[in-house]
Amino acid sequence: MPNDTNVAPSDPALPPLPTAAYTRIDTHVWRASELTRGPWDMGHQHAGPPVALVCRAVEAVAREHGLTHLARLTANILRPVPIGDLIVEVMTDYVGRNAGHFSAHLMAHGKEVGRFTALAQREAEPALELPASLAGHPLPAAPRSPDESGPARFPFGHDHIGYANLVETRSAAGEFWHGPCAVWFRMSHPLVADEAPSPYQRVAVAADSGNGISGVLDFRRWSFVNADLTINFLRRPVGEWICLEARTCLGPAGTGLAESALYDEQGLVGRATQSLAVRSR
């Protein structure tokens, strides 16, 4: 089990929490709540929630073509995403027999803050009968299940509402901000008001935290922000709990890479990568 340093003290009294990360304002317009606040700036969102919001929009468009598996989602974060109103627009680039390519824009204050591409696939019906002795199967599992993992909290955001209130976290291996570790995530609030998030959206909310949970530098002295996130799914996730088994590697010129193996309670579901810009504060 994780040691006591993984368990955050009780939060001080906070104002009532918002009911969801986002509220619909119009067909393509969404208002972010304080639950989306990230660790780098009080006025900016953690990238996980807006990536999940775009994921939701892509899923909806792909379903219109009978494409129900999101195989890849790539987010290019062009600017910090402010806590405020966002516009999400999805374009269908090409749809073939078994796969479709999509792109999306995320807008705030009249500027494009994120640009996305996605690959969606048609799932086989009935499911394929794979050989029993297939190499690499059964799929790898997370180091511990959620029930076997102790509670853990991010070492930030204890005095204000933010991303740490959006998700519940449990440590399956290692500890926050001390190198490679594995952490289970479960959303404590909906992504969109009055709507249950899809398994893909649950992964997207968590996957952008790989560089944070596996950080190797002192958060108070260094920033290691990612300007992109790519998630590859090998299968449809299931359940509410998503585990990131993450590792950060740094280069000598202010660059780095965070890699995360992604699990649900049944085993591996995919991988995520983030390109890092490392700077002293």
Residue 11 pLDDT class (50, 70, 90 cuts)? low
**pLDDT tens profile 42-85:** 999 999 999 999 999 999 999 999 999 999 999 999 999 999 99
Report the distance separating Cα 167 and Cα 186, nearest Å: 5
3-state helix, strand, coil in the chain (%, to 5): 15, 40, 45
Could you state, in order of their start, the residue ranges of all structural domains in the chain?
19-123+141-280
Which residues, including other chains, have CB under 8 Å from residue 19's CB and lie 6 or more apart? 189, 190, 193
Which of 47-56, 113-122, 154-163, 175-184 has the weakest average pLDDT? Answer: 154-163
pTM of the entire predicted model: 0.92
Q: What pLDDT, in 10s, does the model give residues 206-241?
A: 999 999 999 999 878 888 899 999 999 999 999 999
Q: Select the CATH number that applies to the domain covering 19-123+141-280 from these four: 3.30.870.10, 3.40.50.620, 2.40.160.210, 3.40.720.10.
A: 2.40.160.210
Q: Give Dmax over CA atoms of the chain in angstroms.
A: 55
Phi, psi of 141 (to 5 degrees): -115, 160
Give the mean pLDDT of the chain.
92
What is the reported pLDDT for 218?
84
User: Phi/psi at 66 (nearest 5 deg)?
Assistant: 75, 15
Kindly state the percentage of the chain with pLDDT values over 90.
79
Q: For 167-196, what is the mean pLDDT? A: 95
